[in-house]
Structure 1
């Protein structure tokens, strides 16, 4: 009888593989992010952890595919072939929550950097310029609007309270959440935006959030407000955000995600003095693999081998997250 197979399409430490093997001692576990490895192993893998572009050719498009469950290595699932996965009844779980600490830290790094003009002073340092640069803003006591109140949004709200901030949140259901003073539904976005000194986007990309923020939304924001996006670039109409920055409709932006990545050399965002750019690295952390494996994959795997549906971060195909 052929052993059941788990393919971890990542280069992970042997110690973590051993922990996974303890849960499934009779399974074959194969690891490696190189295509030469996973394209050979994917067709008969029952479980794949860490989906790679092109895997569908070796799994979902094959009549003999053994695939039953995919555990992603990322929080977002918009890049996966969701329709095909759904039609094949493949279980899908994400790595949602693994980023809560590093991304919330990045949000505040960007907010504080813009507020206290750290980006301006770094530029001045490069030219040996000693200049006050009209520094005057504080973050304490201001209002932040957090669009998306999952694990990242909740951790961001918690940190905001340490700065004495008023915290507004937006989620589809409008359900209240700890550390958030007032929750808005997605239909009330236009009521939320004018209240905010900072707007932080932590939403997943779905059909409903695609181009959620454009010219109208930036015009509703205070011209003194800062915009932070660590969600997905396509949640924003990038050209209209650039115009809002140029026209002073918002004061500045901290951006980790873009409509096209890497960000093109001809993008005006590179040269804007009121913009801080990071290369989609907000979730990077030394603890990434540990959290995905110990907090998500292993508990889900224990449920799976016991005949249960993996419950941590189960993706609803209809919602797209």
Structure 2
């Protein structure tokens, strides 16, 4: 009888491989970033951890043995969700792995814009000693967190250290610790006028695509800053550019864009009131460790006991 097989499409430290192997001692474990390592094993794999677009044909082929796919990213919008659902393939995300690094990036962007760090960095390059009319502070302001999941929760917790008022928006509208007022998704337009900072941490779904456009920016304060670390397609980028040009909002910190890499022709590059990071807010030295120890191994234990994975099981009807 052929050995059951788990494929990991990433390079993992030996101690992490050993932890996985302890759970499945009788399985064949194939791991490595290079396609040559795993391409001949994909059709036979019962579990695959780490999605690559090149996996699609083999994973969805009639002869595929795939039962469960563990994404290495929190977002699953680029995956063939309808086809996976049709084949009854379980899908779990890496949601939660990014809570610390992304929440740190959120506040780096908020603080950078508020205290004009980006302006001073540019001045440093030209040896320019200039105050730049910096006079804002973060303390006791109001932040709206649009999407209170793992990242939003951590951001809300940090906001409290600055004495901030936290308004949250989530699909269910259910209350959450560190969030002073929670609103449901259809109440977004009620929240925006009250925020000094609007932070988007949403996944990309059919409902969130182009959620932020000219209408939403016009509802924001002209002194408000917009932070997006969710997905670029949640925002109508042309409307954001216009809002920044016209002073409809004060500035933006952006880690994600409609098309990536961001085109050299984008006006966002040259704007004094914009800080750009290249979709790196989730990067962390602890990434693989957290995916394996906090998500993959607990889910693997569930799977081997005949249960569905309990960590981050994707609801195909919601898209996350």
**TM-score of the superposition, structure 1-length normalised?**
0.99
Partner of 1:92: 91
- Over aligned residue pairs, what C-alpha RMSD do you find? 0.6
Unaligned runs of 5+ in 1: none
Partner of 2:33: 33
- For 1:227 and 1:9, the matched residues in 2 are separated by 35
Deviation readout 1:177-204 (Å, 9 max, x if unpaired): 1000001111111000000000000000
SS at match of 1:184: strand
Report how far residue 237 of structure 1 moved. 0.3
- For 1:264 and 1:239, the matched residues in 2 are separated by 13
C-alpha contact (below 8 Å) 1:190/1:220 kept by paired residues: yes
**TM-score of the superposition, structure 2-length normalised?**
0.99
C-alpha contact (below 8 Å) 1:193/1:217 kept by paired residues: yes
Partner of 1:204: 203
Report how far residue 32 of structure 1 moved. 1.4
Partner of 1:144: 143
- For 2:316 and 2:192, the matched residues in 1 are separated by 29
Report how far residue 36 of structure 1 moved. 2.4
Deviation readout 1:191-243 (Å, 9 max, x if unpaired): 00000000000000000000000000000000100000000000000000000
C-alpha contact (below 8 Å) 1:233/1:258 kept by paired residues: yes
Partner of 1:78: 77
Partner of 1:54: 54
Partner of 1:16: 16
Report how far residue 38 of structure 1 moved. 2.9
Partner of 2:183: 184
Partner of 1:102: 101
- For 1:277 and 1:39, the matched residues in 2 are separated by 36
- For 1:320 and 1:139, the matched residues in 2 are separated by 34
SS at match of 1:192: helix
- For 2:71 and 2:88, the matched residues in 1 are separated by 16
Deviation readout 1:96-119 (Å, 9 max, x if unpaired): 000000000000000000000000
- For 1:312 and 1:243, the matched residues in 2 are separated by 40
Partner of 1:229: 228
Unaligned runs of 5+ in 2: none
Partner of 1:156: 155
SS at match of 1:25: coil
- For 2:35 and 2:144, the matched residues in 1 are separated by 41
C-alpha contact (below 8 Å) 1:47/1:69 kept by paired residues: yes
Report how far residue 7 of structure 1 moved. 0.3
**Do structure 1's residue 251 and structure 2's residue 250 form an aligned pair?**
yes
The runs of at least 4 consecutive aligned structure 1 residues that moved more than 6 Å come to none
C-alpha contact (below 8 Å) 1:199/1:227 kept by paired residues: yes
- For 2:167 and 2:251, the matched residues in 1 are separated by 20
Partner of 2:43: 43
C-alpha contact (below 8 Å) 1:39/1:58 kept by paired residues: no
- For 1:265 and 1:284, the matched residues in 2 are separated by 23
- For 1:225 and 1:275, the matched residues in 2 are separated by 12
Partner of 1:215: 214
